[in-house]
Amino acid sequence: MKSSIKIFEIFGISVNLHISFLMFILLLFILLVFSYGFIAGIVSIFLFFILFSIVVLHELSHSLVAIEFGFKVRSITLLPLGGAADVEMDENPKAELLMAFAGPLFNILFAWICLVLLISLTPNWSHYLSIFGANFSLDLFGFLGWLIWINFMLAAFNLLPAFPMDGGRVLRAFLALFMDYLKATKISLFIAKILFVLMMLVGLFLTLKGYTLNGMMLVFIAMFLFFAGNREVKWTEAREKFKGMKNRDIAVRLQETDGNLTVEDVLNLSSFTYPHSPFFVVTMNGKIEGVIKTGDIMNKRANNKINDNMPVYEVMNKDVSFIEADGLVTKSFRKILSADLCVVEENGIVIGYITRDMIIRQIK
């Protein structure tokens, strides 16, 4: 994700923080300091980071199973409501079933390890499982009790059959053993929508009863998951539309221009020589360096942001990816969507381009 910051890499997987996560942390800290004081704010933020460390391990469990099946895992991104692993995988119900189970299974095993450790360290272990009690203290034993509860709750919440959560993916994968993937996805989302509506109703009830923060948070989570589930169905529909198609099948012809030409030169080429070419690939010394979109160039010139005598290499867009002509479109989805334009190559020769808009139009 462009709006993410890489924090470290493990097993070749980039672990990133989304900007919204950092903004959420800052907002949470300010609210807690104003409500309960500076120390409470620091302790709560510490526990929050521990929680999201567990989320990273949860997502890593999914990712390791994906790698075992031969799928490529690009990254894990931390978001305010959890984590998301970017996995390049085929429609494989068995693999998805095991991948979906892996995350909650980690949480359950980790909770049991913490419980065994707590029992072995103190005979009064049951007291430290009452994390909502008035006498609860966050010492070593209390911290273990908190870890036990958090992991069991994460496992239980993730296993709800509400797509796109893990439980919903388990349901989708099970259904896909007996029907096509798109139908299985739609059935899973239908069941999820029922659960999300119930979550919103419970959230509104809590809000009316005076538990405003908890109630509105539940409503927000339900709405977030509702839209995420709808987006997943759109992706599945797009994969069905492009199934079996190669990048060359949808590539649009791309014209080349020298990076030393001026803006005026390229606009003249666009108007007279290649009037139907909205993009030009920019080459320097035989190497592709970027692309220009004639519409963007004309707008910038009209707004006096650039002038006619500027060389093209100074105004080109370098956000370009390259994909092979014989690669499957479904395998190239992520790459196409992460760049403004994807140049399609065959043995090092440019044969055309694909833009994210060409894919998004099929998703909407």
DSSP sequence for 150-203? HHHHHHHHHTSS-TTSHHHHHHHHHHHTTS-HHHHHHHHHHHHHHHHHHHHHHH
Whether residue 1 has pLDDT greater than 50: no
* pLDDT band, very low/low/confident/very high, at 134 (cuts 50, 70, 90): low
Same domain, 275 and 304: yes
CB 147 within 8 A of CB 114: yes
Whether residue 297 has pLDDT greater than 50: yes
Last residue of a domain, one of 243, 264, 284: 243
Q: Which residue has the higher pLDDT, 55 or 274?
A: 55
CB contact burial 224-244 (16+ within 10 A = b; e otherwise): ebbeebeebbeebbbbeebee
How many domains are contained in the chain?
A: 3
| Domain interval for residue 207 | 161-243
Same domain, 9 and 140: yes
**CATH code of the domain in which 274 resides:** 3.10.580.10
The DSSP symbol for 269 reads I
- pLDDT, tens digit, 9 for 90 and up, residues 312-321: 777 777 767 7
